[in-house]
Amino acid sequence: MKETAGEKETAGVKGVKGRRPRQRLDPLSLTGLGCLLLLVLVALGSLVHAGGDPDAIVGPRLRPPGPGWWLGTDNLGRSMLPRVMEGVGTTLLLSSAAVLVTAALSAGFGILAGYRGGYLNELIMRVVELLYSFPAIVLAILVAAVAGPGQLAAVASIVLVTIPLMTRLVRAAAVAVAERDYVTAAAISGAGLPRILGRHVLPNVAGTIAVQGTYALSVGISVEGGLSFLGFGVQPPQASLGVLIRQGGTYMMAAPWLIIGPGVVLVLAILSINVLGDGLRDRFEPRETRSLI
Amino acid sequence: MSALLEVDGLEVDYGTARALDGADLRVAAGEAVGVVGESGSGKSTLGAAIGRLLPRQAVVAAGTVRVAGEPVLDLPPAALRRLRRQRLGFVFQDPIASLDPTMKVGAQLRLVLRAHGRESPGGRDGGRGGGDVAFHLERVRLDDPRVAAAYPHQLSGGMAQRVAIALAMAASPELLVADEPTASLDSQVREEVLNVVFALARQAGTSIVWLSHDLPAVARRCDRVAVMYAGRVVESGPAADVLGDPVHPYTAALARSAPAVAVPGVRLEPVPGRPPVLTGPSPGCAFAPRCPFAEDRCATERPEPVRVGAKDVLCHRAAELEVIA
Amino acid sequence: MRLLLWWAGRALSSAVTLLGISVLIFAALRLMPGGFAETILGPFATPAQKAELAARYGLDQSVFAQYGHWLAAVGTGDFGTSMISRQPVAAELWARLPVTGRLTLFAVAAAVLAGVPLGVLTALRARPGGGGAAGRLLSGLGVSVPEFALGSLVVFVVSRYGLQTSGYLLPAAVLSIFAISATARTTRDAVLNVLVEPHVTAAVARGETPWFIVRHHILRNAAGPVLTLTATITAYLLGGALIVEYLFNLPGIGSYVVQAVGRRDYAVVQAGVLLAATVFIVMNVLIDLLVGLVDPRLGRRA
């Protein structure tokens, strides 16, 4: 009787293999993602001059939005629509490139520091702390002063500004993983370092990187915007959202659409990324909630 | 005569996973009841439900919980708080985590005493509110005055748990729910802590609901025992009776497989198979797949409690099995 | 006592970081196009001035000696002379300090007074599956609008509609929006983390009222991350103040530095950056002490 009982173990009781519901992002975050994808489309469109030629003069100067120039014209008579599109493209491109570099570097440094420990850890964290001590804009200005204003300065400052926090978080995650028993077991059974890092540490750290990378992107856009706004980032005639806002500022009184267009798009970009980041964080690091009642 | 605690047909779901599938429990005033079950049997959920302490994700699908006649699950917030303050006390599994890490032990006790209006007017001697705090700490055999001045992380597990017990018993509750209070303690300390709990409760006339996975230990100290499986209470009755003469096949298997009852030279028999993970009401008896006495109807008909002697057993074949066992 | 020792250790470590920062700035100065002498003195320097500078900063000596000289100069408050105004940089910074200080302090105060309660409230309202979404969206919006965008908008509205503004209110408000939102978000996170800790469950089980629990348990436990955030916010605000002063034409340190970068007045840039970093580090050290006082687990040696 006992033997058959063993074989019958999963039969007859419903729902033995209860499945966890697939987790999805909440509606707000999905909206953010959608918005972001829309902006990417706009950026791609700018590459083929979908909204027009950003440098071409199409009409009279400083005209409010209307047919032929749906976002108005600037002080040279250029249509704002393609200029804003180009601005989106430049801003997104520079920020994304910078964040990718940051992600790679901080993943490397963070995992090294967290997993290896010792004075490598000390060294890396000291440098990180150094960078972290500067306000973002101040660091960006310093970079621009050394490297000269331009796209390189923009990208480099975003990288330097976002590396500290990301490295710290990756390191913390790596430390938590390194202490887990399965990693020790893998090490004891002779797995080489790259294998341990690739197979065990990296997948667990990936979630943190994804979430923080998203936030870093919004920081990057903000930093690039500020730097270019002050005149030390992207240089005209190239347009980024920060440059456009700076240029529009001069004619603000007469032609408010010059800054409203790029301004709204900028805020939209940052907001949708932040909202997406929040959603990703809830998805990857879900938290219980408790009522105080 | 209505019991102090009455749980009837309680069903609780966490999303699609079902934690309680129709649980019944009765606890009388002054009684010590042990609730025994493996992890996943639903005992923690049952304990939390008594005070309506379930996390937000938990949904009560059916059933009632009554404490001193009051319907816990339906009370408005203020009444619920009053009930918790006056009648209930809880002790949890992780002793140090259940204390506020930023406050000294004495300060926490004083806070609780003040809230309950128990601090005597002239009790603030020695600048540490000595009077009543010391009294409550002595009740749990923490006589060293340094304890009150310590932070929770500076205490050992056993000491912290005794502080938690003092906090829970400070308002002299009628029912104390202890959720595996000694799970993270060494076996020696375990005995001390349990002694404290039971002595204090007996003294104050407090009923105890002790959630545990250790059937023999529970049977030794409690008046009555309830055994849980897959979210239901499959057998309950006087402790010696349930342990010594189990009727339900699961209880019997549990009693046989406990290391404490091992006889040298005789093999311990584990129970084959695993408890199910329910995603809805179990269509029949949840233990049927692993039960050596299962019949066809066990898989399709939900059993109802059957009175066998002094015990309540959740089994279709209870009457027959009593004779066999 | 233990707390003091631990804190002294942190303070010392911060001093080392400050030293590291000084190295970084020194290196940046040397790397700037145009050579050190021209950097400090500007392109119109006479040979005599260059010679004097070389002697003063030991440019004929090794890099390390130069660093030593530079550090000594900075340590005694000599930040060099502004190329544009021919005034000692230190004096100019000192004169402009109140403006920036006022702005930043206002924003920090607003952040704590408005942001913390907001964060606590939104945390208590949080539900699985996104309750309290309005609060999240609002604070999300607050951190998503960069100062230069919001500031430009405000300047536009003010100029267009001819509103009267008392000098500091508007720029301080612009600066505060981010500060309040970021504080609210971090506070919300910290409180949510505390809410699920077992001792809060124990307090609920004792029948304590929500207000009681917040006041006696949650605030103190959530204080650590919130205090730490205040330090970070201050750093951010220093940068934000830069932009806001530039936009609203306020005579603070920020606008001074921005102008200086544009004019390649590097002595000023160096001073401004050093000042900002120092303020941040000092703030951190002070905050560390506060956190140690609030959370006894941190005060002990690991």
- Please give the full DSSP string across A7-60, using - where no structure is assigned: HGGGSSSTTSSPPPPPP---HHHHHHHHHHHHHHHHHHHHHTTTT--TT-B-SS
**Residue B321 confidence (pLDDT):** 78
**Residue C144 confidence (pLDDT):** 87
- The number of CA neighbours under 13 Å toward the Cβ of C84 is 15
Q: How far is C179 from chain B (nearest CA, A)?
A: 27
In this complex, do C280 and A135 lie within 8 Å of one another by their Cβ atoms?
Answer: yes
In this complex, do C148 and A218 lie within 8 Å of one another by their Cβ atoms?
Answer: no
In this complex, do B53 and C204 lie within 8 Å of one another by their Cβ atoms?
Answer: yes
Which of helix, strand or coil describes residue B180?
Answer: coil
Phi/psi for B178 (5° steps) reads -115, 115
Residue in B42, B45, B43, B47 with CA at minimum distance from that of residue B58: B45
Mutate to test the interface with A, among B18, B56, B82, B98 (most CBs of A within 10 A): B56
- Rounded to whole angstroms, how far apart are CA atoms A239 and A88? 9
The label of the residue with tokens 């500290």 reads A164
Start-to-end CA span in chain A (Å)? 50
Residue of C nearest to B99 (CA): C199
C chain contacts of residue B87, beta-carbon cutoff 8 Å: none
> Regarding predicted confidence, which is higher, C137 or C217?
C217
In this complex, do B278 and A15 lie within 8 Å of one another by their Cβ atoms?
Answer: yes
**What number of C-beta contacts closer than 8 Å exist between B and C?**
74
Q: Is pLDDT at C13 greater than 80 in this prediction?
A: yes
Answer for the pair A154, A228: CB distance below 8 angstroms, yes or no. yes
Answer for the pair C257, C116: CB distance below 8 angstroms, yes or no. no
List b or e across B48-81, with b for residues whose CB sees 16 or more CB atoms inside 10 angstroms.
Answer: bbbbbbbeeebebbebebbbbeeebeebeeeebb
Which residue of C152, C266, C276 is in closest CB contact with A259? Answer: C152
Environment class of residue C172 by beta-carbon count within 10 Å: exposed (0-12), middle (13-18) or buried (19+)?
A: buried
Residue in B229, C295, B144, C155 with CA at minimum distance from that of residue A252: C155
- Rounded to whole angstroms, how far apart are CA atoms A159 and A169? 16
Residue in A134, A141, A196, A137 with CA at minimum distance from that of residue A165: A134
pLDDT digits (tens, 9 = 90+) for B143-167: 888 999 999 989 999 999 999 999 9
Residues sharing a CB contact under 8 Å with residue B221, sequence separation 6 or more, in sequence order: B32, B34, B194, B198, B210
Mean model confidence pLDDT for chain A: 81
- Helices A202-230 and A136-147, axial angle in degrees (round to 10): 70
B chain contacts of residue A13, beta-carbon cutoff 8 Å: 276, 278, 282-284, 286, 288-289, 299
Answer for the pair B44, B64: CB distance below 8 angstroms, yes or no. no
In this complex, do B84 and C204 lie within 8 Å of one another by their Cβ atoms?
Answer: yes
A189 contact B CB<8A: no
Q: Is pLDDT at C298 greater than 70 in this prediction?
A: no
Q: What is the pLDDT along chain B (325 residues), one digit of tens a residue?
A: 578 999 999 999 998 899 999 999 999 999 999 999 988 899 999 999 999 999 888 999 999 999 999 999 999 999 999 999 999 999 999 999 999 998 999 999 999 988 876 544 444 433 344 458 888 898 899 988 899 999 998 999 999 999 999 999 998 899 999 999 998 898 889 999 999 999 999 999 999 999 998 888 898 999 999 999 999 999 999 999 898 888 999 998 888 877 766 777 777 777 777 888 888 898 889 998 888 888 888 889 899 998 988 999 999 888 887 776 5
Kindly report which listed range (A105-114, A263-272, C18-27) carries the lowest average pLDDT score. C18-27
Adjacent-strand bridge partners of B70: B67
Which pLDDT band, with edges at 50, 70 and 90, does A134 fall under? confident
B chain contacts of residue A15, beta-carbon cutoff 8 Å: 18, 276-280
In this complex, do B276 and A16 lie within 8 Å of one another by their Cβ atoms?
Answer: yes
Dihedral sign of CA atoms B281, B50, B248, B291 in order: positive
Q: How far is A280 from chain B (nearest CA, A)?
A: 20
Q: Is pLDDT at C300 greater than 80 in this prediction?
A: no
Its pTM stands at 0.79
Mutate to test the interface with B, among C192, C193, C206 (most CBs of B within 10 A): C206
Mutate to test the interface with B, among A2, A9, A14, A288 (most CBs of B within 10 A): A14
**What are the Cα distances from residue C181, in Å, to A177, C25, C134, C137?**
32, 32, 13, 10
Residues sharing a CB contact under 8 Å with residue B187, sequence separation 6 or more, in sequence order: none
- Rounded to whole angstroms, how far apart are CA atoms C81 and C40? 8
In this complex, do B57 and A14 lie within 8 Å of one another by their Cβ atoms?
Answer: no
pLDDT digits (tens, 9 = 90+) for A187-204: 777 777 777 777 777 777
Which pLDDT band, with edges at 50, 70 and 90, does A3 fall under? very low
- Rounded to whole angstroms, how far apart are CA atoms B216 and B262? 11
- Rounded to whole angstroms, how far apart are CA atoms B85 and B77? 12
Kindly report which listed range (A94-108, B18-32, C98-112, C149-163) carries the lowest average pLDDT score. C149-163
**Residue B33 confidence (pLDDT):** 96
* Across C186-205, average pLDDT: 90
* Whether the predicted interface score ipTM is above 0.85: yes
- The residues in A 111-140 lying below 8 A from C, measured between CB atoms, are 126-127, 129-130, 133-138
Answer for the pair B160, B182: CB distance below 8 angstroms, yes or no. no
Q: How far is A149 from chain C (nearest CA, A)?
A: 10
**Residue C164 confidence (pLDDT):** 66
Q: How far is C1 from chain A (nearest CA, A)?
A: 26
Dihedral sign of CA atoms C47, C50, C52, C54 in order: negative
C-contacting chains (≥3 CB pairs under 8 Å): A, B
**What are the Cα distances from residue B200, in Å, to B137, B138, B140, C246?**
12, 11, 8, 70
B-contacting chains (≥3 CB pairs under 8 Å): A, C
Q: Is pLDDT at C163 greater than 90 in this prediction?
A: no
**Residue C32 confidence (pLDDT):** 67
**Residue C37 confidence (pLDDT):** 62
Phi/psi for C254 (5° steps) reads -60, -50
Answer for the pair B55, C200: CB distance below 8 angstroms, yes or no. no
In this complex, do C128 and B56 lie within 8 Å of one another by their Cβ atoms?
Answer: yes
- Rounded to whole angstroms, how far apart are CA atoms A141 and A146? 9
Kindly report which listed range (B43-52, C31-40, C88-97) carries the lowest average pLDDT score. C31-40
Kindly report which listed range (A102-106, B311-315, C281-285) carries the lowest average pLDDT score. C281-285
**Residue B324 confidence (pLDDT):** 63
The label of the residue with tokens 């205490």 reads B155
- The residues in A 56-85 lying below 8 A from C, measured between CB atoms, are none
- Rounded to whole angstroms, how far apart are CA atoms C174 and C163? 16
Kindly report which listed range (A31-35, A155-159, B138-142, C138-142) carries the lowest average pLDDT score. C138-142
- Rounded to whole angstroms, how far apart are CA atoms B302 and B290? 16
**What number of C-beta contacts closer than 8 Å exist between A and C?**
158
Environment class of residue C293 by beta-carbon count within 10 Å: exposed (0-12), middle (13-18) or buried (19+)?
A: middle
The pair of three-digit structure tokens given for residue A151, joined into one six-digit string? 């796209």
**Residue C252 confidence (pLDDT):** 87
B110 contact C CB<8A: no
Whether omega before A54 lies within 30 degrees of 0, making that bond cis, reads no
B chain contacts of residue A8, beta-carbon cutoff 8 Å: 273, 288-290, 294
β-bridge pairing B311-313 and B306-308: antiparallel
* C162, containing H or E segment: none
Which of helix, strand or coil describes residue C173?
Answer: helix
Phi/psi for C12 (5° steps) reads -60, -45
Which pLDDT band, with edges at 50, 70 and 90, does C10 fall under? confident
Residue of C nearest to A264 (CA): C149
Q: Is pLDDT at C294 greater than 80 in this prediction?
A: no
In this complex, do B90 and C199 lie within 8 Å of one another by their Cβ atoms?
Answer: no
Residue of C nearest to A232 (CA): C262
The pair of three-digit structure tokens given for residue B212, joined into one six-digit string? 């545990």
C162 contact B CB<8A: no
**Residue A18 confidence (pLDDT):** 31
In this complex, do A135 and C155 lie within 8 Å of one another by their Cβ atoms?
Answer: no
> Regarding predicted confidence, which is higher, B49 or A138?
B49
Which pLDDT band, with edges at 50, 70 and 90, does A118 fall under? confident
**What are the Cα distances from residue B192, in Å, to B99, B197, B223?**
20, 9, 19
**Residue B119 confidence (pLDDT):** 43
pLDDT digits (tens, 9 = 90+) for A18-52: 333 445 677 878 888 999 999 999 999 888 888 78
- The number of CA neighbours under 13 Å toward the Cβ of C238 is 25
**Residue C193 confidence (pLDDT):** 86
Environment class of residue B324 by beta-carbon count within 10 Å: exposed (0-12), middle (13-18) or buried (19+)?
A: exposed
B chain contacts of residue A289, beta-carbon cutoff 8 Å: 55-56
Question: Which residues on chain B place their C-beta less than 8 Å from a C-beta of chain A?
Answer: 15-18, 55-57, 77, 80, 272-274, 276-280, 282-284, 286, 288-294, 299
In this complex, do B292 and A12 lie within 8 Å of one another by their Cβ atoms?
Answer: no
- Rounded to whole angstroms, how far apart are CA atoms C39 and C134? 51
B chain contacts of residue A21, beta-carbon cutoff 8 Å: 15-16
- The residues in B 151-170 lying below 8 A from C, measured between CB atoms, are 151, 153, 164, 167-168
